[in-house]
Amino acid sequence: MIELKNVTKKFGPFTAVDNVSLRIEKGQFFGFLGPNGAGKTTTIKMLTGLYSPTSGICLVNGHDVHRDPLPAKQSIGYVPDQPFLYEKLTGREFLYFVGGLFQIPVDNLRDRIAHSIEAFEIGDFIDRRAEEYSQGMRQRIVLSAALLHDPQVLVIDEPLIGLDPRSARLVKDSLKERTGRGLTIFMSTHLLEIVEELCDRIAIIKDGRIIHEEVQNELRRFDGQLETMFLELTK
């Protein structure tokens, strides 16, 4: 479960995120939308501990990400908007490294990496150094790393950039299947058709403020209206 309570982030005189409050329940697939520079990535960075909020609190499974960061981060998997890796390490070494940081014992880690290789079809390049990877390869390695410790919350910033259609399908199916098993997903994206396909709930942020929230279920489907609504709200 994710909860943001009156979160504000200022950079000098500029307010990037202004008094945002959100509550995302367990197993929910949440889409976070907004135009460029609206405050999506800043919010995500506060949620994952990369930025500290100027005021307000970010809770993940009841733990304050900034006051009690280790248990909060233990339950988060994070996929940043740019999938930067250590250029001199191979994909497999990167996964071992991340697994080590999450304190997964080596034997267990070996099995989990084998499972990731299968799930994200990364076997062909996992033993090559990251400096040789394309954007899509990096993205798949980072997704594998984020799910390696079986997190309860997944925070994703633009998950499908650089992925070919087959890889995108793999990722979408994997995420949908995991929400069915109780994974909470907080996803920021510009791809509205992905939101329509995957998300249970959306919020639109503009100039650092939440301007709209909507739920999608059997009774209320977006059915292609999301783009019109988004353009109208953010103009």
Partner 1 sequence: MREIVLVLNVKATSFLKNVLDFRIESLFKNLSSLLIFGGVAVGIFLLSRAATGYLLTQAHIGLFLFHRFLSMLLYVFFITVNLGNMIVCYATLYRSEEVGFLMGLPMKHRNIFIVKFIDNFFYSSSTLLLLGLALLLGYGSYFSMPWYFYLVTLFVVLLPFMLIAGIIAVIILMVLIKIASHIGIRWLLAGIILLYLSAIYLYFSMTNPVHLVQEVMRHYPDVNAYFGYLDPPFARYLPNHWVSEFLYWTMVDDPTRASTNLVTLLLILAGLVVVAVAMAKSYYYRSWLAASDARSQRGTLPSWFTLRFMEFGKKGFLREQSDALFRRDFWVFFREPSQWLHLMLMLLLLMIFLVSMGSLELKLNQPFLQTVSFLVVFLFDGFLIASISLRFVFPSVSLEGDAFWCVRSAPVSLRKVYMHKFVTSFALVLLIGEMLAVVSTAMLRDNPVLVIVAALCTAFVALALTSANLGAGAYFASYREKNPIRVASSQGASLTFLGSMVYLGCVVLILVVPLNRYFEMLILRGNSAPTWLTLPVAAIGVLSIVTFFASTAVGLSTIRRDY
- Residues in touch with partner 1 (CB under 8 A): 12, 45, 48-52, 69-74, 76, 78, 80, 82, 84-89, 92-94, 96-106, 109-110, 129, 131-132, 145
Cβ closer to partner 1: 112 or 212?
112
Cβ closer to partner 1: 37 or 71?
71
Q: Closest distance between partner 1 and the C-beta of residue 177, in Å?
A: 23
Q: Closest distance between partner 1 and the C-beta of residue 185, in Å?
A: 16
Q: Closest distance between partner 1 and the C-beta of residue 99, in Å?
A: 7
Question: What stretch of H or E contains 233?
Answer: helix 226-234
Q: Closest distance between partner 1 and the C-beta of residue 38, in Å?
A: 18
Cβ closer to partner 1: 58 or 192?
58
Cβ closer to partner 1: 142 or 199?
142
